[in-house]
Amino acid sequence: MRKKADDYYDKKIDNDLKKKELEKKYGAYFSEDSELPPEMENQWLNSIDEFEKQFDNAKTITVWEYMDKPSFKTKDELKSHEISNELERLFELMGESNITLSTLCDVEDAELYRFITEELFQHEMDDIRIPGMMSCFTYEEFHPNAKLDIEQSIDYFFRMTMAKMENIGGTGYDMLYVDIEDHRDSNGNKIDKQKIIDSINNFLGSFDSFEIVTYNEKTFEINQEETDAKVTFTIYFKGLYENSNETCDFRGDGCFKLKPSEYGGWEMYHIDLPGGSIVYL
């Protein structure tokens, strides 16, 4: 009788062969080790293979067509008290077609119903149908929320950049939401790209870690065209050293100036922290 271990390694070998096949056929890339059980990994690999096969011949249809053209009323045809029930019905129909819609902020039912029937249903997608595969949409992909995007950029700066997250594919630390190409000082003068990179990396590298003790937003301004924003705040953070009780405290007012990034979201083109601690050394 074969042992379970033999069956396990047989399936691992089969999966490795399947990966090589996908790499050859589609240029796929897989890490050497997988933490998935062999059976689950095999299902995942087969799903990739099926997706690629369908993708080569897939036609483009609207979301409404993908859902087999369900009947619906326009928002103006509904009374206000009917909208929530009809919205729930549409969500159920979307779920039956493996389509999801999420929101990052609160959106009123009437607006969400209008969005689905007037915009999402007309959005084009590939006619690919694989069991278990979900087509996921987000309201803010179609209607960006500038305030939310700015808050996410600031949050990322504190959680990732100041946490000394390494720059993937490069040297130094992650500056995903820092505009290093067109950074400006407090007078609006452009700062050399390399100086920004060096200043931030050198400051972050001066400490083993940082602790954000308090952060309190004072003002949040976005111009009418949503092309420029300014956030002022008070902050208290510490630069820490490993195996030492010694800290370097930074307290006071700060300011971020941001503008939309061509890659999505908003980038900081001006960073002012207490003591000019990062950029203006």
Closest by Cα among 143, 155, 173, 165 to 231: 155
Measured torsion, CA atoms of residues 235, 251, 255, 179, in degrees rounded to the nearest 10: -90
Tell me the one-letter amino acid at 75: K
Q: Where are the domains of the chain?
A: 4-57, 60-142, 146-276
Cβ atoms of 206 and 198 closer than 8 Å: no
CATH of domain 146-276: 3.10.450.50
Read out DSSP for 94-124? Answer: HHHTTEEEE-SS---HHHHHHHHHHTGGG-E
pLDDT per residue, tens digit, the chain (281 aa), is 455 555 666 676 666 665 666 666 666 666 666 666 777 777 766 666 666 666 667 789 999 999 999 999 999 999 999 999 999 999 999 999 999 999 999 999 999 999 999 999 999 998 878 787 889 999 999 999 999 999 999 999 999 999 999 987 778 899 999 999 999 998 899 999 999 999 999 999 999 999 999 999 999 999 999 999 999 999 999 999 998 889 999 999 999 999 999 988 999 999 999 976 565 54
Q: Note the residue count of the chain.
A: 281
Pairing of strands 99-102, 135-138: parallel
